[in-house]
Amino acid sequence: MTMRRRFQVLVFAAMALGAAAQTPPSPQLGALAPSNIAKSRPKPPFDLTGTWQHGGGQNNGFRFSPPPGFKLTPAAQAKYDASLKAAAAGKVYQDDIGDCWPAGLPVIMTRVWPIAMVQVPTAIYMISGFMNSVRIIYLDGRPHTDPDVVVPSFNGESIGHWEGDALVVDTRYFVDDHHWLDGGIPLTDAFQMIERIRLIDKGATMEVEYTATDPKSWVGEWKWTKRFRRMDDTDITEASCLPDLNAHMPSIKAEHSGR
């Protein structure tokens, strides 16, 4: 190749790279976009469409309690100690749920109200009977949102993928305030939860293995296993949390006593 020809090849290559760099990426299709749903995908091993009721599990039933030997960060330990002191005095410590703040993940998963789930090829939509909290698990292969532009939320951003007979869900990007684990332990914007979901008992039971980390609140990984039973004879109903409805609660009375 002559020097002139080599120069021309380099110029054309640089122009092509420049054009590619200027071409904006294709926008992420919505989970319910017909063209997204119609894409060819392997058949999932199960369908979670249905109504599910928490039916127990490890670690004190419905609660997400700290594991034995847990270690908190100093900031989280101070809040945990305050909650224990309040409980010993028969008081409620920072009852944000009673004050109508969203319960958030993972608490919404295991309360006494059932959860309705609708699965489509691109996502699983969950509506909890508890405050009608909405959670979406995306299954269309999208990555997590850029942390510089994501909007944190109480239920986070859940991205799922299939591994054999299990659905593995990675949830991150949570709010940094008014968000708690059971027992007065704060959840921060560093909280991340991995769920491994399987159907057992011929589809009658959903088993979820949770692995949670929050380096701003505790050391290491905390794990729980919860089970949910399929409820074919019930539906969820509309539910609203209004402060006036909770005015009888001690935490609300204390908060508004000086007003």
| Residue pLDDT, tens place only, 33-76 | 999 999 999 999 999 999 999 986 665 588 899 999 999 999 99
Distance CA(174)–CA(164), nearest Å, equals: 28
Q: Which of 161, 108, 122, 123 is nearest to 36 (CA)?
A: 122
- The fold of the 50-256 domain, in CATH, is Lipocalin (2.40.128)
Distance CA(218)–CA(223), nearest Å, equals: 13
Q: pTM, whole model, 2 decimals? A: 0.84
Q: Where are the domains of the chain?
A: 50-256
Rg (CA), the chain: 23
Residue type, 19: A
Q: Quick one: pLDDT band at residue 1, thresholds 50, 70, 90?
A: low
Residue 230 near residue 52 (C-beta atoms within 8 A): yes
